[in-house]
Amino acid sequence: MIEFRSVGKRFADGTRAVSDFSLTVPSHTTTVLVGSSGCGKTTLLRSVNRMVDLTEGKILIDDDDIAARDPVQLRRSIGYVMQHAGLLPHRRVIDNVATVLRLNGVPKAAARQRAAQVLETVGLDASVHRKYPSQLSGGQQQRVGVARALANDPNILLMDEPFGAVDPIVRAELQQEMRRLQQDLKKTIVFVTHDIEEAFALGDQVVILREGGKVAQVGAPAEILARPADEFVARFIGLEHGRRQLRVRDENGRRIVVDEHGRPAGVLE
Ligand SMILES: Nc1ncnc2c1ncn2[C@@H]1O[C@H](COP(=O)(O)OP(=O)(O)OP(=O)(O)O)[C@@H](O)[C@H]1O
């Protein structure tokens, strides 16, 4: 479990990114932080592995204050996936993944073996092992990024807009893949996105943020859709002007669900 207790961050230049942010992230589930650009998502995410050091409040991981942890050790114990995969361009795929294991003292052969295993977990076979990142598609690079984050088998995975730079079809594929992975792995995931559809697709718990890291609403996607806390949330999740309102239409004896434009969205069973 990760607990944010009245967390705040003011950067050296005086920019206040976050104030008084509190949240509990339950273990083995996915929590998605969603909000517009600049609302403080990345700052909050990076404060969990101390890439950002807080100016107020504290973060506890399983009841331990992370301020007391060695930052390098802490960072190595937590998986981190960023938007542009952040792979080392001059290292082969297998070594990009093996490097994090080597840093933790795993011998070379064992590191490569584990890297191959974790690449397979994310759907990449041996044909990519010896390639360089630039020889992979954007979606494949993101998979390598996820594999690298999983290599040490961390309990916690931080994901910062990991699918933001790939096309919508690949993005949907990666989201689906992530749900499958999470069913097996049951990591504690904190995922950042500005896309509410992605938040609803992946989050067990969704946190809608306003500017300054202020929480507008926290809840399961269905709870938020059913009871948006206020106008801001209703607008953010696209409930205004009748959007997302589905209706049932009878079509040759079957009940078809249609969207606000009357376009078919599915079949009601
Ligand atoms: N190192 C820094 N120094 C000064 N200000 C910063 C720094 N990093 C972030 N900020 C500011 O803090 C605020 C929150 O930034 P943050 O990157 O956390 O937002 P975000 O919600 O992740 O945005 P995006 O979706 O655009 O990445 C912004 O106003 C940003 O300009």
Interval 173-187: pLDDT, tens: 889 999 999 999 999
What spacing in Å lies between the alpha carbon of 83 and ligand 1's midpoint?
A: 15
pLDDT at 246: 86
**Ligand 1 mutation pick, 36, 41, 192, max ligand atoms within 8 A of CB:** 41
DSSP single-letter state for residue 219: E
Atom 2 of ligand 1, residue of closest alpha carbon = 11
pLDDT band at 216 (very low <50, low <70, confident <90, very high): very high
Ligand 1 mean position to 11 CA, how many Å?
9
Confidence (pLDDT) at 262: 85
DSSP state of 155: S
ipTM: 0.94
- Return the residue whose CA atom lies nearest to atom 30 of ligand 1: 38
Ligand 1 pocket mutation pick from 43, 51, 82, 192 by most atoms within 8 angstroms of CB: 43
Alpha-carbon gap, residue 181 to 147, rounded angstroms: 11
**Which residue's entry shows tokens 């929590």?**
31
Nearest-atom index, ligand 1, CA of 9: 12
Phi then psi dihedrals of residue 57, to 5 deg: 75, -170
117 to 110, 121, 248: CA distances (angstroms): 11, 6, 46
86 pLDDT more than 90: no
Residue 137, C-beta contacts closer than 8 angstroms, at least 6 positions apart: 170
Instruction: Compute, in angstroms, the gap from residue 40 CA to the centroid of ligand 1.
Output: 6
Distance 141 CA to ligand 1 centre (A): 25
Per-residue pLDDT band at 169 (split at 50, 70, 90): confident
CB atoms within 10 A of CB 260: 13
Q: How far apart are CA 75 and CA 49, in angstroms?
A: 5
CA distances from 140 to 32, 143, 260 (A): 23, 5, 36
Percent of the chain topping pLDDT 70: 99
Q: How confident is residue 227, by pLDDT bands cut at 50, 70 and 90?
A: very high
pLDDT band at residue 238 under the 50/70/90 scheme: confident
C-beta of residue 148 within 8 angstroms of C-beta of residue 159: no
Residue nearest to atom 18 of ligand 1 (CA): 40
Residue 9, pLDDT above cutoff 90:
yes
Model confidence at 23, pLDDT cuts 50, 70, 90, reads very high
Mean per-residue pLDDT over the chain, rounded: 92
pLDDT of residue 167: 85
Provide φ and ψ at 97, rounded to 5°. -80, -40
Q: With a cut of 80, say whether residue 239 has pLDDT above it.
A: no
Tokens of 238: 């696209």
- From the alpha carbon of 192, which atom of ligand 1 is closest? 22
Distance CA 187, CA 168 (A): 25
pLDDT at 219 over 80: yes
- The contacts of residue 216 (CB under 8 Å, 6+ apart) are 35, 208, 209, 210, 229, 230, 232, 233, 236
- Phi-psi group of 241: left, alpha or beta (phi > 0 → left; psi -120 to 50 → alpha; rest → beta): left
CA distance 70 to 22: 23
pLDDT at 51 over 80: yes
2-222 has which fold?
Rossmann fold (3.40.50)
The mean pLDDT value for 101-106 works out to 90
Average pLDDT over residues 96-118: 93
Strand order in the sheet with 254-258: 247-251, 254-258, 264-267
